[in-house]
Amino acid sequence: RQSLKIGMLPADGIGREVLPGAKAAILALGSSIPKTEFIDLLAGFEYFTKTGTALPDETVETLKNECDCALFGAVSSPSRKVTGYSSPIVALRKKMDLYANIRPVKSVSVNPEGKPGVDLVVIRENTECLYVKQETQTVGEHGKEARATRLITERASRRIGELAFKMALERPHKHLTVIHKSNVLSITDGLFRETVRAVPTLPGVDGKYDDVTVAEQLVDSAVYRLFREPEIYDVMVAPNLYGDILSDAAAALVGSLGLVPSVNAGDSFVMGEPVHGSAPDIAGQNIANPLAAIRSAAMMLRHIGYGDGANRIERAVDSVLREGKVLTPDLGGKSKTSEVVDEVTKRI
């Protein structure tokens, strides 16, 4: 690549405060990555309230036709039912076919409330389950009745399963836990479970995953055990909604959602996204933790082939955390968002 074009979608709330930090970290890499252009793109709930659309077509077109990758901030949720509104992040994942949401969660020493020994990755299927948003409402004898469809396909389960085995193989423990609730959803979660477990027997795999040990757990008991003995987890693979819940649960273990990055990845595009939300309660105060966004930028860069740059960013973040002097309030510190960003970029 001669140059790099990164779509920037800050969206709402603290999304707008943390994305500049991610940009600063990428810029701090200087000439070790190609000349980078950042393209600001519109999306979000606030944008919806102004225009009636949460994700303009132009944003999707620009991502598809001009960008090499993207960073998303966070999106606010309406506090009342709002006709016509549909989450732009869910739509983006689907429209860009970003079928995997990869969420690594690792203990840090700075937070006394965090648990030690957490080092896991949640791999969340990102395109189906209840997120297909096929919902209807009718009026029956006893009032309104609403129905949503939960879709699980063999194809989506297989590709997320393949990714999960591949990632497990790359990690020291090579352990994969398949999350489901097939004691209730025997057909949908049954299909997910069986398709994922069958990955090692696919044609062409040829024993490649022989070193991966596989376990499985019901989602309710997975959340329980995640709190009680997080060290049993390495890679967890889950249908969309369970993955959403599990990754927040894992983030709580390490002390702050403000630390947990993710990428939404497809076969031809990747979009970094901090796991936290738009946090309206702290927005506008310059105290949001930028580290999840900065780490998401690193993951995104690694995904498109700039592993060295990603490592430099991640090492800088780790060293700021280890030192524990310049931290935002969620980690017990007193520093501003911008101060943390400066501290990280200085070390890149």
Tell me the residue type at 161: G
Taking CB under 6 A as the rule, does residue 220 contact ligand IPM?
A: yes
Q: Is 284 left (phi over 0), alpha (psi -120 to 50) or beta?
A: left
Among 162, 244, 314, 343, indicate the residue that binds ligand IPM (CB under 6 A): 244
C-alpha torsion angle, residues 309, 310, 313, 316 (rounded to 10): -110
Q: Under rule CB under 6 A, how many of the chain's residues touch ligand IPM?
A: 8
Report, in Å, the least distance between residue 149 CB and a second copy: 5
Q: What whole-number distance in Å separates Cα of residue 289 and Cα of residue 292?
A: 7
Catalytic residue among 5, 23, 174, 181: 181
- By CB under 8 A, what part of segment 120-139 binds a second copy? 130-131, 133, 135-137
CB 86 within 8 A of CB 299: no
Q: Which of 32, 109, 149, 285 binds a second copy (CB under 8 A)?
A: 149
Backbone φ and ψ for 60, nearest 5 degrees, come out as -65, -40
Residue 63 CA to residue 5 CA, distance in Å, equals 9
Q: Identify the residue among 149, 183, 213, 285 touching ligand IPM (CB under 6 A).
A: 183
Identify which of residues 98 and 168 has a Cβ nearer to ligand IPM in the complex: 98
Interface stretch with ligand IPM, choices 17-25, 27-35, 87-95, 186-194 (CB under 6 A): 87-95
Handedness of CA 36, 306, 247, 108 (dihedral sign): negative
DSSP structural state of residue 71: E
Distance CA 144, CA 141 (A): 8
**124 closest CA partner among 239, 232, 253, 7:** 239
Selected from 4, 75, 191, 235, the binder of ligand IPM by CB under 6 A is: 75
Any contact of residue 246 with ligand IPM (CB under 6 A)?
no
DSSP 116: T
**What x-and-dash track marks residues 44-73 binding a second copy by CB under 8 A?**
------------------------------
Q: 40, 145, 210, 211: which one contacts a second copy (CB under 8 A)? A: 145
Q: How many CB atoms lie within 10 A of CB 36?
A: 15
| Whether 131 is catalytic | yes
Tokens matching residue 44: 């979000």
| Sign of the Cα pseudo-torsion (91, 95, 97, 98, in order) | negative
Q: Is 77 in the site for a second copy (CB under 8 A)?
A: yes
CB distance 342 to 292 below 8 Å: no
- Identified binder of a second copy from the candidate list 241, 266, 324, 339, rule CB under 8 A: 241
Q: Does 87 bind ligand IPM (CB under 6 A)?
A: yes
Told to check if 223 binds a second copy by CB under 8 A, we report: yes
> Which residue lies nearer to ligand IPM by CB, 8 or 241?
241
Active-site residue, selected from the candidate residues 220, 267, 308, 334: 220
Binds ligand IPM by CB under 6 A, chosen from 4, 60, 90, 291? 90
Q: What pairing do the DSSP bridges indicate for beta strands 213-218 and 263-265?
A: unpaired
Considering CB distances under 5 to 8 angstroms, the limit depending on partner class, which of a second copy, ligand IPM, none binds residue 109? none
CB environment 285-323: b (16+ within 10 A), e (fewer):
eebbbbbbbbbbbbbbbbbbebeebbebbbebbbebbee
| Contact residues: ligand IPM, CB under 6 A | 75, 87, 89-90, 183-184, 220, 244
Residues that are catalytic: 131, 181, 220, 244, 248
| Contact residues: a second copy, CB under 8 A | 77-78, 81, 85-87, 90, 113, 130-131, 133, 135-137, 140, 142-155, 158, 181-188, 190-191, 194-195, 218-221, 223-228, 241, 244-245, 247-249, 251-253, 257, 277
